[in-house]
């Protein structure tokens, strides 16, 4: 190590370089504060706009944050005398390598842009995407955050979502709840259906139109298998699902229906 050269640099340019370092630190602190303030103000303006929902607002804030941080970094480099045009040329020269290394991220970003345009779902929707079922909490630049039913935060790459099947359970006004009920062979299935119609229709949040479907689905050795299918809003799905099962138990118990049992096959003698 050439200590003489270091001492020569410190004695001639050390003060100027130190000032540049302090200026860069101050610019970073002030710049980050300005970026944060700008993003908050833009976010507040977008939230006040009635034509922009929270999904698009979050996405635009993410893009704005990235762009402002890039501008801030270029400004700090300019403090040290690094020309931004040279920096841009350097990035352009390394573009192929960066594109190859970040190819996956770029596909996720492009998929996120298309999702914002096509709008297959929005924040707050209950969906099944990328093999994950839950409520969408955020659509980011590269991934979408879904909160599953067991309260687990799951982040899925946008490209995986966009290239796979998307099921949006919140896009339609109501959803069907599928339940099954089996009666013994000694029970009149039409009587069971009539009793269940009245019981299911009385469950809170069950829609009157379309009316619940209660029909004979199939026949088993134990007795007829009934399908019990009420309709409700997506927000009330699980409440109606569990209450329907309770209604089946209470209705069959009040009617003193026997428990379906498998017939005993005769023995060969």
Q: Where are the domains of the chain?
A: 15-93, 120-168, 175-254
| Sequential DSSP letters for 156-207 | EEHHHHHTS-EEETTSSS-EEPPEEEE--TTS-HHHHHHHHHHHHHTSTT--
Look over the chain and give the mean of its residue pLDDT values, rounded to a whole number.
Answer: 81
Between residues 148 and 88, the one the model is more confident about: 148
Q: Are 193 and 264 in contact (CB under 8 A)?
A: no
For residue 127, is pLDDT > 90?
yes
pLDDT of the residue at 26: 82
CATH class of 120-168: mainly beta
The number of angstroms, rounded, from the C-alpha of 165 to the middle of its chain's C-alpha atoms is 14
For residue 197, is pLDDT > 80?
yes
| Residue 240 host element (H or E) | helix 237-254
Q: Look at the domain 175-254 and name its fold.
A: Alpha-Beta Plaits (3.30.70)
- In the chain, % of residues over pLDDT 90: 41
Residue 97's pLDDT band (boundaries 50, 70, 90)?
low
What is the mean predicted confidence (pLDDT) over 40-63?
Answer: 69
pLDDT in tens, 214-240: 999 999 999 999 999 999 998 899 999
Q: How many CB atoms lie within 10 A of CB 76?
A: 17
pLDDT of the residue at 36: 84
pLDDT in tens, 165-176: 999 998 888 999
Residue 27's pLDDT band (boundaries 50, 70, 90)?
confident
- Residue indicated by tokens 């200590």: 3
Between residues 35 and 191, the one the model is more confident about: 191
């Amino acid at each position: 190590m050439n200590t003489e050269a270091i001492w020569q640099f410190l004695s001639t340019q050390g003060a100027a370089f130190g000032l540049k370092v302090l200026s860069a630190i101050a610019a970073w602190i002030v710049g980050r504060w300005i970026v944060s303030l700008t993003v908050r103000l833009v976010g507040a303006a977008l939230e006040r706009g009635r034509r922009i929902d929270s999904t698009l607002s979050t996405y635009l804030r993410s893009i704005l944050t990235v762009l402002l941080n890039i501008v801030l970094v270029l400004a700090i480099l300019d403090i040290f005398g690094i020309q931004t045009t040279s920096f841009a040329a350097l990035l352009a020269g390394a573009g192929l390598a960066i594109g190859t290394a970040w190819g996956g991220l770029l596909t996720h970003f492009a998929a996120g842009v298309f999702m914002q345009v096509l709008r297959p779902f929005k924040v707050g929707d209950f969906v099944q995407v990328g093999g994950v079922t839950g409520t969408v909490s955020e659509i980011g630049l590269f991934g979408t955050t879904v909160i599953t039913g067991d309260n687990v935060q799951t982040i899925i790459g946008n490209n995986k979502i966009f290239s796979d099947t998307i099921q949006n359970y919140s896009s339609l006004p109501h959803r069907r709840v599928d339940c099954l009920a089996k009666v013994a062979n000694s029970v009149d299935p039409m009587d069971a259906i009539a009793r269940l119609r009245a019981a299911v229709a009385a469950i809170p949040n069950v829609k009157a139109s379309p009316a619940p479907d209660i029909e004979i689905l199939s026949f088993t050795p134990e007795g007829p298998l009934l399908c019990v299918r009420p309709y409700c809003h997506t927000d009330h799905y699980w409440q109606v699902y569990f209450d329907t099962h309770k209604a089946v138990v209470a209705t069959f118990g009040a009617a003193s229906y026997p428990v379906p049992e498998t017939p005993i096959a005769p023995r060969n003698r």
